Structure 1
Amino acid sequence: MSAKIENVTDKSFDYVIIGGGTAGLTLAARLSEDPSKTVCVLEAGDPNINDPAILAPAAYASQFGNKQYDWNFATTKQKFCSDRIFPWSRGRGLGGSSGINFYQWAKPPAEEIDDWESLGNPGWNWKNFQKYVQRAERFVEPAAELREKFKIPLHEGDLGTKGTLPISFPRTFSEAETYFMQTAKNAGISTAPRPYGGNPNGFFWMINSLDQQTSTRSYACTAYYMPNRDRPNLTVLTGAHVARIVSDEGTDGNLTITGVEFLHGEKGHVVYVKKEAIICAGALKSPQILELSGIGNRSVLEKVGVEVKVDLPGLGENMQEHIFGAFSWELKPEHDFLGFNELLNPIGLAQHKALYKNLKGALTMGIVSFSYSPLETVAGTSRAQEIYERARAQVDTLDPARTPTGLREQYAILLARLRPGVLPAGPGCEVTGVTTTAFGVSVEEGRSYFSWSYSMNHPLSRGHVHITSADPMVDPELDPHYFEHETDLDVFMEAAKFARNLVQHAPLKDMVAREVAPGPSVQTDEQLMQYVKETCSTSWHTCGTCSMMPRDKGGVVDHELRVYGTNNLRVVDLSIAPLHVASHTQSVVYAIAEQAADIIKGTFER
């Protein structure tokens, strides 16, 4: 399906896209719509086309740790999180992380996308986000019977129906979902007014990136590459590990990119650039490629012997990541609902594989019960005010001489999101109901289980990604600085307490047999904090490492996504997001790539 090395090596293309993941394939499809422009995509992984391990639904995390599908990164020891090293899975192969994610199709609050524009990026606002994300969306309505039974809204006008990527509600809902929703409402979470129209504050059913007709994964490879793979002007080479970008210094003092060096079959090759090189390697790899090419913080580059071509101190900084944890319970025997836990034993898995052939059973379900709430909702006004005051005091102590202007502006926005009584409130606390146990929790056959997961989506802590070697095969150092800013742990703990306390509300209150994780031995705040630190996980939503902000504020790319100090090099992926959002990020990546395509083609209108 993909090109051979002789189709690429020593050849010239108008656009060379580094990374065939979610953004890279979206961008390649759009740029190659013009038959007069040639597009080459370099992807380090394998094609993985028509692979059941990717297409089969409900196979959550089954690809993690497998080099066929996963880069299998890991963080440094996290000083403020029990010295843990966190595995950070990222998609490897055509489609990138859209091929191994958990299918969630969410959209951020409108004001949080508008915040990107306020940080110095004209045109990056909610109005344009909706325009471009709907260019990707092809929403398929649920079956009438399912819609009526679970009272599923269609979000008319807020979702695109003619786009490239099929999205839908799963074919099957567990009966447990209605109990999740009613319990959340009884705990004080109202229905989200417009979860796909800019206001996800509350509880709602979440759409999945699934093809409803087949109950298979819908992702960048199936939606953007496969329909366009035969275009004569589109060349996609897999197994191509980019080593560095080749450049000359122009008469204006900026770099002009002339080629891209890459490894293929352990041999070095080069492909030449006629118009632009575009890095779409994600928030962890895009900074690495830039640093290997001599673009980045002088001290980082000189330490590993890379010639400094553009001194860009903000590169690799401003890393932000969502984090989540979970609690699990066993249900009383009379409450025997269809759930993912049935897939955890060989007999149950075999039964549901047989049902799946007729598009029935647990393999046609998804994770759909979600809520987003401001801190005040989950912690109460008094505790939220206390956390806000503490956060403000910490921010006030920052040394202006050592804190980039852009970061100070971000903190001002984040404090406003935290502050009780300020509208619109930032719904940074996420709680999700799932019909199985948390990762690593053992189950008994014949029993039913469920979990509430909790997330913190507006981190104040800032991490980094930097190379430690000039060897492109050596992974960069990944350090998210989890909980370095104490406010993050404060908020995370309140979200955890709220999630755990949900079972004290009807109807789940009368349905629970026992708590299995963490269990009755964890009672005090100190014990709970230890459990939270030992069991929390990344949400795989890293952003900010090539932040789109003015250069003098710590930015790496401008509002047209062009890398500062270069004439024809851009970054198009989640790394450009300067400030994180209360949302799963799949839709955000598609929207970034769709808007970037118009910017590059010169058709973008603010």
Structure 2
Amino acid sequence: MTATIEDVASKSFDYIICGGGTAGLTLAARLSEDPNVSVLILEAGGANIGLTDILRPASYATILGNPQCAWDYTTIKQRGSKDTTHKWFRGKGLGGSSGVNFMCWIKPAREEIDDFERLGNPGWNWNNFEKYIHRTEGFITPPEEQQRLMHLNFDKWDMGTQAIGYPATMQEAELKLQETMVNAGIPLAARPSNGDPVGTYFAPCNYDVRTNTRSYATTAYYLPNKDRPNLAVLVAARVNRILPSSDGGLVFSAERVEFEYGGELHTVRAKKEIILSAGALKTPQLLELSGIGNPNILRRIGIPTKVDLPGVGRNVQEHMTVSISFELRDDVKFDTFDILADPEVLKKHLELYRTGTGLFTTNVTGFTFATLHQITPRADEIIKAAEDKIMKNAASYPPGLLEQYKISLERLRKSAGCEIIIFTGMMTPYPNPVEKGKRYVSMVAALNHTFSRGTIHSVSKDPAVDPEFDPRYLEEEIGKLYLQVWVEMVKFARNLKNVSPLKDMITKEHNPGPDVQTDEEIATWIKAVMSTTWHTASSCSMLPQEMGGVVDPQLKVYGTENLRVVDLSVVPLHFAAHTQAIVYGIAEQAADIIKGKFQQPHVAAAAA
């Protein structure tokens, strides 16, 4: 189904897309709707079509760390988290991370998408996002009985090729965990898929209930269009750099893509445009290897500067998590992922999957998005301290950061940036490991609105050498202060053990455990065990160039004529939601922009 090297090398295509992940496949499908244009995708991973580990839901343990399915990236040591490194897994192969993620289909608050526009990007707002994401969504309504049990009122929801729905198996205990959240003061969310996520709810996922399989970019966008004569996909083709036209013009005109296939270098020519869709981790590296970026960075690796663009690889933002776990009573009838550690039980559930039942027909669906005021009585104190720190240091921030921080302060006051994820099993077995034969539930406290800003920069001119990933977790002064928000979230999650019906289901808190009590001890524990949801964004931010931007509102790289970026790296300010729905929305809107079908609105005012 995919192309051969003879189909591609030294040939010409109208559009060349570097990266066949979530954004790349979506964009290619839309551009190739016009039979008069030719589209090529170059993907470094394999096709992975029909791979069981990808298609079978709830198979996280067999996907992440599998070199066929996932890239195993690692950050540098993080001073803000006790000098530890962090794994940054990403999808490898067609479909990208949509083929290896936890399948959560979650959208942020309306205002957080509108903030893209406030930061100088006309047309990047909630109304357009909702229009474009409906092109992706193909919602499968669950049976009425399941709706009743899960308290789902779709009269207030508005859901738009991709199968989005609820897993085949929902256990009663999950309802009790949601009931615990409501009893703790977090109400049910009324319209979580329509820009108002505040509250607790069961989120849909990219789960096709007709086949009990993952629905992802490959099944939704590639396979239905694989036979188009104007669409070519070459896998196992690692893009090295973008080569400009040799005419010596003042503006960088992207002409060819250099890539490696089978140990040999090749080039392919673009007649119209080249689009980078390699993701937030690799797209900045491709720009730098092409001579586009900060001249100081390029000089260190021996790359001549073709476009002076200091914003490349900066403004990196990430979501962070810690897990609070509780041990279930032996008499609670509730299957958790812990039991799959027993080979015989694993075998049983693999057999059950063939009948459409068992743990492999479940998924992570229980979510709470709360404001800081809902989480802690210290909210006003923390917000005031953050505001004082920001204004004290305002003159020292790089261009554009103060505007972002002001919006972040608004979010701290009123947005639902405090996320609690219900995971039916042990998520992080530290400091206390899993006890054999025991089952657990975890409340994952996810910090979404952070003030930390990291970098992703090349360290070698060799494309095979990964860039340096430095998220700078909790490093800056304001980032350290934001740790207090996380401490309050952990305290809220721990207190759920005193709230019914959870308190009637558990024997004890397993992690962090009785040795962690004071705020200082909680902060130390957070730094030692913190992880990530692998939602890295903003390394090629869509911002005005004078504010550190890399791409303009048409996603065109500043200083270039026909080079665009379409992936999560363009997000200017991170949002409180899981990222895959946003990536689809970005790619759908980008397709209309490239095709000249997007109507550009008036320019919104930037943040004051």
TM range (shorter): over 0.9
Report the RMSD for the aligned CA atoms in angstroms.
Answer: 1.4
Of stretches 441-450 and 358-367 in structure 1, the one that deviates more from structure 2 is: 441-450
Amino acid at match of 2:579: T
SS at match of 1:208: coil
Displacement of 1:445 in angstroms is 5.6
Of stretches 349-358 and 15-24 in structure 1, the one that deviates more from structure 2 is: 349-358
CA–CA separation in structure 1 for the residues paired with 2:61 and 2:43: 22
Amino acid at match of 1:573: D
Moved over 6 A (4+): 249-252
Q: TM-score, normalised by structure 1?
A: 0.96
Q: Is the 8 A contact 1:336 1:447 kept in 2?
A: no
Paired residue for 2:415? 426
Paired residue for 2:4? 4
Paired residue for 1:544? 538
Q: TM-score, normalised by structure 2?
A: 0.96
What are the ranges of 5 or more consecutive residues in structure 2 without an aligned counterpart? 601-608
SS at match of 1:282: coil
Counterpart pick for 2:512 among 504, 507, 518: 518
- % identical equivalent positions: 50
Q: Is the 8 A contact 1:572 1:593 kept in 2?
A: yes
Q: Is the 8 A contact 1:14 1:37 kept in 2?
A: yes
Amino acid at match of 2:333: D
Displacement of 1:193 in angstroms is 2.1
CA–CA separation in structure 2 for the residues paired with 1:77 and 1:155: 48
Paired residue for 1:266? 263
Paired residue for 2:408? 414
Paired residue for 1:41? 41
Q: Is the 8 A contact 2:156 2:190 kept in 1?
A: no
CA–CA separation in structure 1 for the residues paired with 2:28 and 2:61: 27
CA–CA separation in structure 1 for the residues paired with 2:481 and 2:155: 35
CA–CA separation in structure 2 for the residues paired with 1:361 and 1:443: 22
Displacement of 1:494 in angstroms is 1.3
Counterpart pick for 1:225 among 222, 225, 233: 222
Paired residue for 2:107? 107
Is 1:327 matched with 2:316? no
Amino acid at match of 1:300: I
Paired residue for 1:483? 474
Counterpart pick for 1:451 among 438, 442, 445: 442
Q: Is the 8 A contact 2:322 2:428 kept in 1?
A: no
CA–CA separation in structure 2 for the residues paired with 1:474 and 1:342: 39
Paired residue for 2:492? 498
Paired residue for 1:301? 298
CA–CA separation in structure 2 for the residues paired with 1:228 and 1:89: 28
Displacement of 1:55 in angstroms is 0.7
Count of residue correspondences: 595
Paired residue for 1:422? none
SS at match of 2:537: coil
Displacement of 1:65 in angstroms is 2.2
Is 1:178 matched with 2:172? no
CA–CA separation in structure 1 for the residues paired with 2:154 and 2:512: 37
Q: 1:203-602 alignment to 2 at 5 Å?
A: 203-248=200-245, 253-380=250-377, 383-398=378-393, 400=395, 402-419=396-413, 425-440=414-429, 442-444=433-435, 446-484=437-475, 485-602=479-596
Of stretches 480-489 and 205-214 in structure 1, the one that deviates more from structure 2 is: 480-489
Of stretches 286-295 and 369-378 in structure 1, the one that deviates more from structure 2 is: 369-378
Displacement of 1:350 in angstroms is 1.3
Q: Is the 8 A contact 1:352 1:363 kept in 2?
A: yes
CA–CA separation in structure 2 for the residues paired with 1:63 and 1:440: 19
Displacement of 1:342 in angstroms is 2.6
Amino acid at match of 1:453: V
Amino acid at match of 2:472: H
SS at match of 1:89: strand
Amino acid at match of 2:54: I
CA–CA separation in structure 2 for the residues paired with 1:65 and 1:58: 15
SS at match of 1:178: helix
Displacement of 1:553 in angstroms is 1.0
Q: 1:25-36 alignment to 2 at 5 Å?
A: 25-36=25-36
Question: Residue deviations 1:175-213, cap 9 Å, x none?
Answer: 111111111111111111210010001101110111111
Question: Residue deviations 1:474-497, cap 9 Å, x none?
Answer: 000000010012133111111111
Displacement of 1:518 in angstroms is 2.1
CA–CA separation in structure 2 for the residues paired with 1:366 and 1:47: 25
SS at match of 1:415: helix
Displacement of 1:440 in angstroms is 3.9
Displacement of 1:116 in angstroms is 0.4
